[in-house]
Amino acid sequence: MEKVKNFFKSVGRAIVRFIVLVYCKVVYRVKIIGTENIPKEGSLIFCGNHRTYLDPPLIIVTAGRHVRFIAKEELKKNPLFAILGVLFEGIFVKRDAKDISAMKEAIKTLKNEGAIGIFPEGTRNGFEKNDGKVKNGASYMALKTGAKVIPIAVVGKSKPFTKNAIIYGKPIDFSEYAKDKKIEKEVEDKVSEIIKEEILKLANTEI
């Protein structure tokens, strides 16, 4: 039964990837840059800037890996995101509560050589809204599991029939910062700042 369920999930994922990719390329003229930087195996954390609701599906269909996104639970109220959540095994978190179960599930995925997607901004256009501050979820997971981080930038006007692009940077290894079993907040903050800087560098790319 589980094999049948997984088969239909994989077929569903393939269909959704095709539809979303065609939509993004035709309507938003999305150019995909840097996919050669993405390792085919090993645990990865995809970290990008967050501008529109299209960002998670765009990463999911272009990364070339099965990416489990961490997203706010409220998105399940939207039928489209609810379906995507089931097909791509999204990890939904209650934003106003300390949802330890979501973090545990994400860490488990990474320890099993899987891939997680997360927006360090915490919300859409968070770099502007939060005075440049970022959440430490990605840095904590990278330090805890040894997963490499792939910085991502979605650039362009995000309007139909204008030029847009998704740019994947080179993987960043933070193992040198994880020397102690206990992860200090100062180290988390430092790693988060490096991730943010790499995302912003990519966001300034001319397309």
Per-residue pLDDT of 8-65, as tens digits, reads 888 989 998 999 999 999 999 999 999 999 999 999 999 999 888 889 999 999 999 9
Q: What is the structure's pLDDT at 171?
A: 98
Order of strands, edge to edge, in the sheet holding 67-72?
A: 30-33, 164-168, 148-156, 44-48, 115-118, 67-72, 91-93
Residue of 90, 98, 36 lying closest to 62 (CA atoms) = 36
State the residue range of the domain holding 56: 2-203
Identify which has the larger pLDDT, 84 or 196. 196
Phi, psi for 202 (deg, rounded to 5): -65, -35
Q: How many distinct structural domains can be found in the chain?
A: 1
Q: What is the structure's pLDDT at 124?
A: 64
Distance CA 44, CA 38 (A): 9
Instruction: Kindly report the CATH number assigned to the domain that includes residue 134.
Output: 3.40.1130.10
